[in-house]
Chain A
Amino acid sequence: MKYWIGCILVVLALAGLSLSNMNEYLFFAGFVILQGVVLASAWNILGGYAGYVNFGVPAFVGVGAYTALVLHLAIDAPLLVQIAGGMVTAGLLGLFVGLLTLRLRGIFFSIATIAVIFILEAVVMNWRYVGGATGLQLTRPEVMAPFESYTRMLFVVMVVMAALAVSVARYIQISHIGRGLRAVRDSEEAAECSGVPTLRIKLIACVASGGLLGAAGTTMPMYLSYIEPASTFNLTWAVSALAMPIIGGMWHWSGPLVGALVLGTLQEAVTVTISSELNVLVVGVLLVVFVVAAPDGIIGLIRKWKTSSK
């Protein structure tokens, strides 16, 4: 109950901010940071709880983005319909990836998810309707009533999406699905023998994770007013989505949230003050430093510090 009150208060506060006359750039940057929260929380459902490392994040983001684009081009669908459509197709991709877990574990699963990205990218590059390899320029529709600008509206959409992603990740963690996924991570055979329906919970995790990753992608075409395959299916998405939960901590739903906020803010600061190449380097370096020195992330460090100070 405490969680839900807090969650609603944060959402309302952030939505309220968008009606104030703060600098437009803050919403532009806030959108990216919150998108990180969605990606990190969604990735962690499969990667953190179940230990299946999904490098295919760009594939889900791309499927979400291009579904939204097709809906926009074909029937001029409103943003919410685009998001819903993107979640459905990305969820279906999640189901497919989930079926891969039947035969593949560890690095084999991860490599297979990388393969999915490049196959989908090739398909999109050869699909004239969505702009092929060169991409498409889009015009944003008119913004709706209470919002001053389209960026502010997308910011609020992303606030709600982040709240949804964190809530789903939290629900999965504390429900029987989360217990089952942890059992799968520790030993899939033992879990299966103890009567955990491993396939079913893995599929649930894949669909939930995939749908949310896709949702994060659906807003990309409208956010940039432009879409092209090379940056949409870029592996950089995968490094960030992997780095944020590892930095924050993978064993608890709050880990990806903390990691995404810390890393996102740091990246924005580096982009503004130094350069955008360096901000990708920051992700890589922090990822390696944490995985080597503090595998349980910030949450793990806090917990360790708390128990030792008692």
Chain B
Amino acid sequence: MFFSIELLFEAVLFGLLLGCFYAAVSLGLSVAFGLLDVPHVAHPAILIVGSYGAYMLGTYGFDPILAGIVLMPVFFVFGVLLYRFYYETFEKRGSQAGVSGLAFFFGTAFIIEILLIIFFGVDQYSAEADYVGGSLELGGIFLPYRLLAAFGVALVMTAGLSFYFSKTFTGRAIKAVGQDELALRLMGANPVRIKQWAFGIATGVNALAGAMLIVVNPVEPSLDRIYIGRTFCVVVLAGLGSMSGTLVAGLLLGVTESIVMMFFGVSWSQAVAFALLLFMLGVRPQGLFGR
């Protein structure tokens, strides 16, 4: 192991960029799991579908990030339908707790993964864009444009959602349904419709996040397994349902992972998210910013 201040600085800088990206891929889960309490283990699998979607549109000449934005409405509708189905089969009967809900989403994640293998094979795919290859030199440190692009989009996404949940009427209603569903019902609002809308947003955001994922790294169908750790780690660290907390937690994960990668290698860095997650669950399950 070779240690120097310059390397550490570089690792932290990379980690901050990467962390912002991790926050962005976790935003959807933060809504679906954090606010709505849905055991959405299939979130990372849908994320990977977003990446493949961006790749497919890329073959028609779309820029990956533009492709992500184009895919958002499609994913939104899919999310609404998925929640509706989940609600009708599990929540309505009160059987979502325990094995059923989890098994449903776990099975769904697996079906998605296998379908991706059947359609695309197990090879890695990456996106084509001008900014994917090059990098920006900053005082001897090379920052890849792909990471900077993802960093920018991630910041916009986090700020946008944060604004949406705190300032708009529907956004606040979604927060309210997460806090006290019964009270919302007594106010005459329909919690199921609000949740459906929120789950749609959570899934729609995933399209853009997935498009960024393929910009940052090549993707393969089984990549969702690693992202189960990363996304849940960020959401649990943040404390359920907090958008700004998600950003801080993402940065924390990014920096830790980047430092471990720099000094111990990739084979350890993939376990960082899981170790952090397990530690957090064992010590403080309500998260850093939880109530």
Contact = CB atoms under 8 A, between A and B. Distances in A.
Nearest to A186: B98
Interface stretch (B18-26, B104-112, B146-154, B249-257): B104-112
Contacts of B115: 281
Interface in A81-138: 100, 103-104, 106-108, 110-112, 114-119, 121-123, 125-126, 133
Interface string B227-243: 01100100010000000
Q: Counting chain B CB atoms within 10 Å of each CB, which of A126, A242, A291 scores highest?
A: A291
Interface string B260-286: 000000011011001101100110010
Interface string B205-221: 00000000000000000
Contact of B267 (A107, A133, A288): A133
Contact of B229 (A115, A123, A283): A115
A295 interface: yes
Contacts of B33: 107
Contacts of A287: 103, 106-107, 110
Interface in B101-125: 102-104, 106-108, 110-111, 114-115, 117-118
Nearest to B272: A122
A193 interface: no
A122 B100 contact: no
B84 interface: no
A224 to B, nearest CB: 20
Contacts of A277: 114, 117-118
B5 interface: no
B110 A284 contact: yes
Interface in B25-71: 33, 39, 41
A277 B275 CA distance: 31
A185 B97 CA distance: 10
B107 A115 contact: no
A51 interface: yes
B89 interface: yes
Interface string B80-100: 000000000100000101111
A88 B33 CA distance: 36
Contacts of B277: 111-112, 115
A243 B278 CA distance: 25
A79 B202 CA distance: 50
B281 A185 contact: no
A239 interface: yes
A133 B271 CA distance: 14
Interface residues of B, number: 38
B285 A292 contact: no
A292 B86 CA distance: 9
Contact of A281 (B97, B108, B111): B111
A144 B225 CA distance: 41
A288 B98 CA distance: 15
A302 interface: no
A47 B115 CA distance: 27
Contacts of A239: 106-107, 110
Contact of B99 (A103, A126, A250): A250
A3 B257 CA distance: 53
A288 B89 contact: no
Contact of B275 (A107, A119, A133, A235): A119
A119 B271 contact: yes
A106 B39 contact: yes
Contacts of A47: 99
Contacts of A53: 98-99, 102-103
Interface of B: 33, 39, 41, 89, 95, 97-100, 102-104, 106-108, 110-111, 114-115, 117-118, 225-226, 228-229, 232, 236, 267-268, 270-271, 274-275, 277-278, 281-282, 285
12 contacts: A108-B281, A112-B281, A112-B282, A118-B229, A118-B274, A119-B274, A122-B267, A284-B110, A288-B104, A288-B107, A288-B111, A291-B103
